[in-house]
Amino acid sequence: MKPRALVTGASRGIGAAVAQALAAAGHPVIVNFVRDHEAASRVKSRIEAAGGAATLARFDVSSAEESERAIKALLEDPSPIGVLVNNAGVVDDAPFPALGRAAWESVTRTTIDGFYNVTQPLVMPMVRARWGRIVNVSSVSGVVGSRGQVNYSAAKAGLIGATRSLAQELAKRNVTVNAIAPGFIDTDMVKGAHVDELLRLVPMRRFGTATEVASLVAYLVSDAAAYITGQVIGINGGIA
């Protein structure tokens, strides 16, 4: 049996699609969520209906205490967690002069603190097993920046730095660490946005799908990607 895969923020959008793709590849999936138990349960049901295995894990990745308790409980299961997808993230946009401290902290804590809180306790089990896959979901905003998203861009850029550094630490242990940088993906995060304005920024003139992003994650987790580590892979329809 393949190792378990923990996907944070997996109740909807990219996270839900990733959870389903990894389950289809044979990984028992741990579906992390914070508030929407009903949505997370639907993801679990879809995975099971397709013949996969899934469990739910409710905890807030931005909370050190919640993450520690939850991961400690998950590690009591003898089946190893060999795959981690750090997908949880929030947006709270505003021009920088109007960006309040609460908006800064909620976005950066979910992405950067969340990365630390979840990844740090799982690294040594992967090292001891001499196998692991960590995929961090960054953003095109973390690569090129985005007006009105200083907090989000800073958080996602920080995730890229963490990816590159951790990859160097773990490479000789056969643990790969990569980041993906999606552009505009057709999820709840872009609903209500100025669609025509956004599409003009995309050479392909369409939004990506969560399934397309999930396919990239599934590839990076697979044995076919065993020699890929420390990379940031864009999936953005041609945005330079």
Digit-coded pLDDT (tens) for 181-200: 999 999 876 665 678 888 99
Q: At what angle do helices 37-49 and 13-24 cross, to 10 degrees?
A: 30
Give the three-state DSSP class for 223: helix
> Quick one: average pLDDT of 19-44?
98
Residue 90 lies in a domain: yes
Residue 157 lies in a domain: yes
Residue 71 lies in a domain: yes
Tell me what pLDDT residue 193 has. Answer: 60
Residue 213 lies in a domain: yes
Asked if residue 183 lies in contact with residue 234, where contact means CB atoms within 8 angstroms, the answer is yes
Tally the domains of the chain.
Answer: 1
Residue 35 lies in a domain: yes
Report the number of secondary-structure helices (H) and strands (E) in the chain. Answer: 9, 7
Digit-coded pLDDT (tens) for 210-228: 999 999 999 999 999 999 9
DSSP codes joined into one string, 27-89:
--EEEEESS-HHHHHHHHHHHHHTT--EEEEE--TT-HHHHHHHHHHHHTSSS-EEEEEE---
Q: Which of 36, 24, 89, 130 is nearest to 5 (CA)?
A: 24
Question: 220: domain CATH number?
Answer: 3.40.50.720
Residue 227 lies in a domain: yes
Digit-coded pLDDT (tens) for 77-114: 999 999 999 999 999 999 999 999 999 999 999 999 99
Tell me what pLDDT residue 96 has. Answer: 97
Q: Is 152 part of the annotated catalytic residue set?
A: yes
Domain residues for the domain of 62 are: 4-235
Q: Which of 116, 152, 219, 227 is catalytic?
A: 152
176 vs 172: CA distance, rounded Å? 9
Tell me what pLDDT residue 240 has. Answer: 77
Digit-coded pLDDT (tens) for 106-128: 999 999 999 999 999 999 999 99
91 vs 201: CA distance, rounded Å? 20
The mean pLDDT value of the chain amounts to 96
Percent of the chain past pLDDT 90, that is, above it, reads: 93
Percent of the chain past pLDDT 70, that is, above it, reads: 98
Residue 240 lies in a domain: no
Least confident of 155-169, 174-188, 190-204: 190-204
